[in-house]
Amino acid sequence: MKKKYRKTAAVCGLCVTLLAGATITSTAFGGNQGGGPGGGPGGGQDGAGTSAQYASASGTVAEGNTTNSAASLTADYANATTITMTDEDNEVKIKEAGTYIVTGSCADGSITVTKGTTGVVLVLEDLDLTSSTGAPLSINKTAEAKVIVSGSVTLTDAENPDDEDSADADVADAYDGAAIKVKAGAAAYLTGDGTLTLNGNAKNGVKAGDETTLVIDGDLTLNITAANDAINGGYDVAILNGTLNISAGDDAIHADRILTIGADGSGPNVTIRQSYEGIEATVVNIAGGTVDLTATDDGVNAANSDGTYASELTYSINITGGSVNVNAGFDGLDSNGNVNLIAGSATIRSANRGGDAGVDYDGSLYVSDAFELNNQSGVAGPDNMMGGMPGQMGQNGQQGQMTPPDWGQNDRQGQMTPPEWGENGQQGQMTPPDWGQNGRQGQMAPPDWGQNGQQGQMTPPDWGQNGRQGQMASPDQGQNDQQDQTKPSSQTQNSGRNQTTPAQTQNTRQESALQVAPTTQSLTVDGVSRNAEIYNINGSNFFKLRDVAMLLSGTSSCFSVDYDAASRTIAVVTGESYVPQGGELQTGTDRSASCVPSTQTLTINGRAVELTAYNLGGSNFFQLRELGAALGFGVDYDEASRTVVVTSR
C-alpha cells in the first residue's frame, strides 16, 4: 500500500454556510445558529467554531491534455496486416507504421510497438492474450499507437509480482506489472466499440509512464481488475467516453498530473466497485458522464504521493458537469487545495469523524448556483474553519430551514433515516436530546445506546438490513444487521452474564471466558501485502466476513455476502462478485471489549453451516481457517515473518 500525500487533519465542521441558490442537502450541520459570521438573516448564537466559508468564485481550473498524436490516426483496413496469435506464434513486434489486425488466442505471448515507432493503428479483434514475462501489450518509449477494440478482447498480466524487486537485474528490467504498458513519452489512444477486459494480476491494469498522455474514448467497454491501480498515468489521463467497470486493490484511476473525465457535459459511465482510493490526481476534472465509486479510503483525492507537479499546479477537484456518486470509508472529496463544484451533481456518503468528511479541503471551497450537492457527511475545511455545535442552519444560514427528512440510508428517497444513526449505520454515543450522531436534526437519540450500537442497547425495531426502512428486524439488530443479542437497557456491555435471545442457538459461550485482542500479525493475499481488521480470540485469528469478501474479490475464490433480516441469516454465495457496503478493510479501532458470540445463521450456497463466529462492534468475525475450509480458499501461517497467508484457489 503506497503512502498517500495526505494533509493534516482538520477538525470536521459538520456542515457549512451555503451559497445562495446552490441546491444542497446535508444531514450534518455546524457553525452558527441562524446568523453570525457567514450567516444570513435571522440572528442566532455562535457555535464553538467558525462556519466554514465558501469562496465567492471558483479557483483556477487547470485543463489537462485530452488528446494526443495517436488520436488523429485512422485505420486503413484495405491495406491492413492481419496477424493470428497462437501458442506457437506468440510474439508480435510492430516496427513500422500501418494498420495491424491482431486476433486469436495465446496462453503466453505479447504484442509490442517498438521504441520510436509511430503511425501505428492496432486493431485488437476477438483476442485472448496472456503474458507471464511482461505486459501482454506494450507501447514502448516515444512510440505512437491508436488501439481499436473490436469484439471481445482479454489481456491478462500473469507476471510474478516478486519479479519487480528481483535481485536478477534482467528479470527486474523485464517486469512491466501491467496488462497494457505505455512507456515514457509514448502516445496511446484506446477506442473502439468492443469489450476490453484487463486482468492486472501482477500489479496494474494500465500503466502509462512519464510525459505520456493516455486517452480513452469511443464506445469502448473497459473491464479492469487489478491488484494495485486499475489505471495509473505518470502524466495526464483523459477518459472521454465509454463504459468502465473497475475493481482495484489500490487506486481505481490515478494520474500524476491532471485527470480528466468527460468533456462539455458528456462523458463515460464509470463504475468503481472496489478500490482503496477511487480517483486521484494533482488536478481532478470531472466534466461529464457518470461516476459511481466505492472506496475504503478517500473517494476523489486531489493529491500526489511525491508532489511532482505541486509547484506548477494547485491541487484541486473541479466538477463542471455530470453526476458523481461517492461511497467512501474516509473523505468523499478530499483536496490538498481547492474544491470547485461548478455544474453537475454529487451525492456523497463517507466518514464524518475528526478530519474526515464528505468534502475535505485545505484551500477554498466553491459551490455554484448550478451545482446540486447531496452531502451526507459534512465538511472539513482548513484548521481555522472548524464547525461548532449543531445549529438550525439552512441555506445561507437562514434559521429554521431543515434538512429534508425523507432520505434513507444510501439516499433512498421516501424513507426516513433515523437521525440517531451515524456513518455506515453505526449508532453513536449520547448526544444532545434534539440531535442524533453527526448532528442529524429533529429527533431524539435513544439514550441507551453505546458506541457503534454495541450489544445490550435497543435498536429501532422497524429497521432491517442496512437500515432499509419497512423491513421488520428483531430489536437487537446492529450495523448491517449484524447485532446479535438483546440485553436490558441498563445492562453494561460485556458484563460476563450470558444473555440469550429467541434466535440464539449456537456459540453460547460465557463472554467472561473470552480472551480477545487485535493481532499484530501481517497479512498477504495471493502474495500481496494487505491490511484488514483481525482479532485473536482464544488463540485463533478471526476476520470480518465482509473484509474477507473484499480481499478475495476478483479472484477465483470470490463470494458475495447478503443478509435476510426476517430470518436473521447471513447468505454467502461462492463464485459471485462481492458488492462493497462501505467500511471494509478499515483498521485502527480496537473493538475487543464489544466481543460477544454471534447468534446469526450462516448459509453458504443456500445450506446452513455452523462456524465459530463472534460479533465485535456490530460486525461478524469468523475463524479464518474454518472460513477458508468452508469457502475454498487457502489459509497458512509463516512463523518466521508472523504472516497470515491467504491464497485463492
DSSP letter string, 157-209: E---GGGGG-SSHHHHHH---EEEEE-TT-EEEEEESSEEEEEESSSEEEEE-
The answer to whether the CB of 549 falls within 8 A of the CB of 560 is yes
Q: Is residue 488's pLDDT more than 60? A: no
pLDDT of residue 22: 45
Q: At 288, which amino acid appears?
A: G
pLDDT band at 489 (very low <50, low <70, confident <90, very high): very low
Q: Provide mean pLDDT across the span 333-343.
A: 95
Q: Is residue 455's pLDDT more than 90? A: no
pLDDT of residue 382: 81
Question: Which cell goes with 131?
Answer: 503474458
What SS3 class is residue 630?
Answer: helix
pLDDT band at 53 (very low <50, low <70, confident <90, very high): low
Question: Which cell goes with 244?
Answer: 468502465
Q: Provide mean pLDDT across the span 460-478.
A: 36
pLDDT of residue 239: 98
What SS3 class is residue 3?
Answer: coil
CB atoms under 10 Å from CB of 378, counted, come to 31
pTM across the whole model: 0.59
Q: Which residue has the cell 488523429?
A: 72
Q: 7-38 pLDDT, tens per residue?
A: 333 333 333 333 333 444 433 323 222 232 22
Cα separation, 212 vs 145, in Å, equals 12
pLDDT of residue 620: 92
Average pLDDT along the chain: 76
Q: Which residues contact 113 (CB under 8 A, 6 or more apart)?
A: 94, 120, 122, 138, 139, 140, 143, 144, 145
Handedness of CA 496, 498, 500, 505 (dihedral sign): positive
pLDDT band at 383 (very low <50, low <70, confident <90, very high): low
Q: Provide mean pLDDT across the span 338-353.
A: 91
Query: 3-state SS of 151-170?
Result: EEEEEEECCCHHHHHCCCHH
Give bridge partners of residue 215 from the DSSP assignment: 189, 238
Q: At 64, which amino acid appears?
A: G
CB atoms under 10 Å from CB of 245, counted, come to 17
Q: Kindly report the CA angle at 369 between 368 and 374, in degrees rounded to 5? A: 80
**pLDDT winner (highest mean) among 2-16, 201-215, 491-505:** 201-215
Q: In 448-558, where do the E strands start and end?
A: 516-518, 522-525, 528-529, 534-537, 540-544
Q: 214-237 pLDDT, tens per residue?
A: 999 999 999 999 999 999 999 999
pLDDT of residue 56: 79
Q: Is residue 180's pLDDT more than 60? A: yes
In this predicted structure, which of 78-82, 204-208, 581-585 has the lowest mean pLDDT? Answer: 581-585
Which residue has better confidence, 450 or 250?
250
What SS3 class is residue 28?
Answer: coil
The answer to whether the CB of 588 falls within 8 A of the CB of 561 is no
The rounded percent of the chain whose pLDDT value lies above 90 is 52
Alpha-carbon distances of 242 from 245, 348, 605, 648, rounded to whole Å: 10, 23, 35, 31
Which residue has better confidence, 545 or 426?
545
